[in-house]
Amino acid sequence: MQLLLDKLQIISSWQVGYLIGVILLTGLLLHLFLHLYGYARRLGFEKQQQDLAKQEMQISIKAAMLRCQEAEAARQVWNGFRKFRVAKKVLECQDVYSYYLAPHDGKPIQGFKPGQYLTFQIYVPHQPKPVIRCYSISDAPRSDNHFRVTIKKALAPKGASVPHGIASTYFSDYLKEGDILDVKAPGGAFFLDLARATPVVLISGGVGITPMLSMMNAILNMGSKRQIWFFHGARNSKEHIQKDYLEQVVKEHENVHLFVSYSNPLPTDVMDKDYNHKGYVTVSLLKDVLPSNNFEFFICGPPSMMDNCAVRLAEWGVPKNRINFEAFGPPPKKKSEPTAAVKSGGPEIKINFSRSGKTLVWDTGCETILDFAEQKGIEISSGCRSGSCGTCLVAVKSGKVSTGGAHDAPGEEGSCLTCICKPETDLVLDI
Ligand SMILES: Cc1cc2nc3c(=O)[nH]c(=O)nc-3n(C[C@H](O)[C@H](O)[C@H](O)COP(=O)(O)OP(=O)(O)OC[C@H]3O[C@@H](n4cnc5c(N)ncnc54)[C@H](O)[C@@H]3O)c2cc1C
């Protein structure tokens, strides 16, 4: 018995020693593994940092190159209208075509800032004078020397016995490949600054998608990982411009987040495949989807959407300088600030149209000087009627004008954009 106990003691002390050895070795191996793992992670992290720094460096080089191109472009900018040939006309979706425009003289076209538009002078048959219209460039600056615009035919309101839109109908129903158009150099203050890295939220409704496509494509072309949250509203898949292209972009770029709202989906439209939300794009939708409000916002769409989004974004605490918007038509009628004379119930304001030799009493019911002049039979050339194209710019010989709080861009010093301005005092206009 004693012999058995002695044997057991020998075995167990040998086993304990063995166990301790195993534990120590495991600990050592674990330590070694953790050390190696940490090293590998550090290496991975450092590589990631290096890649990021490399990418940032590439982007800032590209941004610097872009700035040089822009400066060069500004030097080369063409004055007045230049001839462009319709190189390609492509049906995008119901009543919407894209037009690829190549310079007729074959010389290089200038760069532009994504979001800017072209101004067209269109000779529509049976119109008494050329029609001026603006169309946003719907693609990023490209190396193949053409611009792309995407135009929706403006149909007459249902039930109204008025004609369809003059220019857009001409583009859609009459303009063909090979035709020549008169185009002014790109312009406009609604654009994305490519030298910045701030994540962006693009909000568009209907054909308001055009400047957003330009902005998104410009970011992607730079190889930038800048975050893009793209909210687009359409009636349904039949009116969803560049649907397939956008879906492809989302598959290929993890920095692009697309959110589509259909206000009137077709029975065949599938939720979470064709669209993500039924209804309109609103700021409460944005709040549900976005991680924060710390973005730069770009909005273009129907007046009601723009008005609503701009107001609600400001209420959400987004600084004014981070909310950018472009109207495709006359700006939504805001409760404009009454002019000084109206505020004080003061004297009537007189406008002297010097070249026409007429002095008329301002009608406070008019929204703009352009409306007033047209009412009184004084002709002022006009285009966009939203303060964008500059066609209605008139020199102010004396007096003061204001935009009545409805627009931020009063035009050049000593002149006024009559489509957005009202008189503040008596005026003498050079028209
Ligand atoms: C900066 C900017 C960028 C733009 N970018 C684009 C773009 O990328 N794509 C795009 O498609 N558009 C764009 N637009 C809008 C474009 O410039 C035109 O306003 C649009 O094509 C309509 O012009 P139109 O000549 O066809 O219609 P208009 O002849 O100006 O008519 C407009 C509407 O009024 C209706 N109408 C006609 N007569 C009457 C009447 N008596 N009473 C009531 N209604 C009437 C017409 O049926 C039509 O629906 C942009 C506008 C701006 C300012």
Q: Tell whether 310 and 348 lie within a shared domain.
A: no
Separation of CA 417 from chain center: 23
Q: Are residues 132 and 249 in the same domain?
A: no
Expressed as residue numbers, the domain containing 369 is 340-429
Segment 122-127 mean pLDDT: 94
State the pLDDT at residue 354: 94
- Domain assignment present for 317: yes
* Strands of 235-372, DSSP E: 256-262, 277-278, 296-300, 323-326, 350-353, 358-361
Q: How far is the CA of 155 from the centre of ligand 1 (A)?
A: 9
Token pair 């981070």 is found at 322
Residue 140 and residue 206 share a domain: no
Domain tally, the chain: 3
Separation CA 254–CA 251 (nearest Å): 7
Looking at 134, 161, 187, the residue that finishes a domain is: 187
User: Per-residue confidence at 86, pLDDT binned at 50, 70, 90?
Assistant: very high
- Please state the pTM of the whole predicted model: 0.79
pLDDT averaged over the chain? Answer: 87
Of the residues 326, 357, 387, the one at which a domain ends = 326
* Per-residue pLDDT, 50: 76
- Considering the domain architecture, whether residues 347 and 284 belong to the same structural domain is answered as no
Contact 177, 86 (CB under 8 A): yes
What is the CATH classification number for the domain harbouring 232?
A: 3.40.50.80
Is residue 162 pLDDT above 60, yes or no? yes
Same domain? For 320 and 275 the reply is yes
276 lies in the same domain as 362: no
- The single-letter code of the amino acid at 428 is V
Q: 9 lies in a domain?
A: no
280 occurs within a structural domain: yes
- Determine the residue of 112, 135, 175 to mutate for testing ligand 1's pocket, defined as the one with the most ligand atoms within 8 A of the Cβ atom: 135
> What percentage of residues in the chain have a pLDDT greater than 70?
85
pLDDT at site 187: 87
Q: How far does the centroid of ligand 1 lie from the alpha carbon of residue 302, in Å?
A: 12
- Does 182 lie in the same domain as 104? yes
Confidence of residue 60 (pLDDT cuts 50, 70, 90): low
For residue 367, what pLDDT is reported?
A: 87
Flag whether 1 is in a domain. no
Inside any domain, residue 12: no
Give residue 64's pLDDT. 60
Q: What's the pLDDT band for 412 if we cut at 50, 70, 90?
A: low
Measured by CA distance, the residue closest to atom 34 of ligand 1 is 165
* Ligand 1 pocket residue status of 122, Cβ below 6 Å: no
The pLDDT-based confidence of 30 (bands split at 50, 70, 90) is confident
Q: Based on the fold, state whether residues 212 and 318 are members of the same structural domain.
A: yes
Question: Residue 97: its pLDDT value, please?
Answer: 98
- Nearest residue (by CA) to ligand 1, atom 45, is 162
Of 124, 174, 116, 126, the closest CA to residue 148 belongs to 116
Taking the centre of ligand 1 as the mean of its atom positions, its distance from the CA of residue 403, in whole angstroms, is 22
Q: Decide if 418 is inside a domain.
A: yes
**Dihedral angle sign, alpha carbons of residues 126, 130, 135, 141:** positive
Closest-CA residue, ligand 1 atom 10, reads 151
Shared domain for 315 and 347, answered yes or no, is no
Closest CA to 114 of 77, 139, 133: 139
pLDDT in tens, 320-348: 999 999 988 765 444 444 444 455 566 89
* Residue 233 near residue 206 (C-beta atoms within 8 A): yes
Same domain, 207 and 305: yes
The CATH number covering residue 177 comes to 2.40.30.10
| pLDDT (0 to 100) of residue 41 | 75
Ligand 1 and 216: CB distance under 6 A: no
- Per residue in 275-288, pLDDT tens? 999 999 999 999 99
Length of the chain: 431
Cα 286 to ligand 1 centre (Å) = 28
Domain harbouring 420, CATH code: 3.10.20.30
- The tens digit of pLDDT for each residue in 223-274 reads 999 999 999 999 999 999 999 999 999 999 999 999 999 999 999 999 999 9
Q: How far is the CA of 154 from the centre of ligand 1 (A)?
A: 6
Q: Which residue has the higher pLDDT, 252 or 77?
A: 252
Q: Is the CB of 180 under 6 A from ligand 1?
A: no
287 and 322 within one domain: yes
What separation in Å is there between the alpha carbon of 163 and the centre of ligand 1?
A: 12
Residue 404 has pLDDT above 70, yes or no: no
| Same domain for 295 and 210 | yes
Mean pLDDT of 200-215: 98
Residue 61 placed within a domain: no
pLDDT for residue 22 is more than 90 = no
Instruction: Determine the average pLDDT of the residues in 342-370.
Output: 86
Handedness of CA 323, 215, 164, 239 (dihedral sign): negative
135 CA to centre of ligand 1 in angstroms: 10
Compute the average pLDDT of residues 49-59: 70
* Ligand 1 centroid – CA 119 distance (Å): 13
Note whether residue 18 is domain-resident. Answer: no
> Can you say whether residue 223 is alpha, beta or left, with left for phi > 0 and alpha for psi between -120 and 50 degrees?
left
Question: CB of 135 closer than 6 A to ligand 1?
Answer: yes
64 compared with 289, residue with greater pLDDT: 289
Q: What is the mean pLDDT of residues 4-18?
A: 65
Rounded distance between C-alpha atoms, residue 68 and residue 215, angstroms: 19
Per DSSP, helices labelled H in 163-258 are 166-169, 209-221, 243-252
The finding on whether 325 has its CB within 6 A of some atom of ligand 1 is no
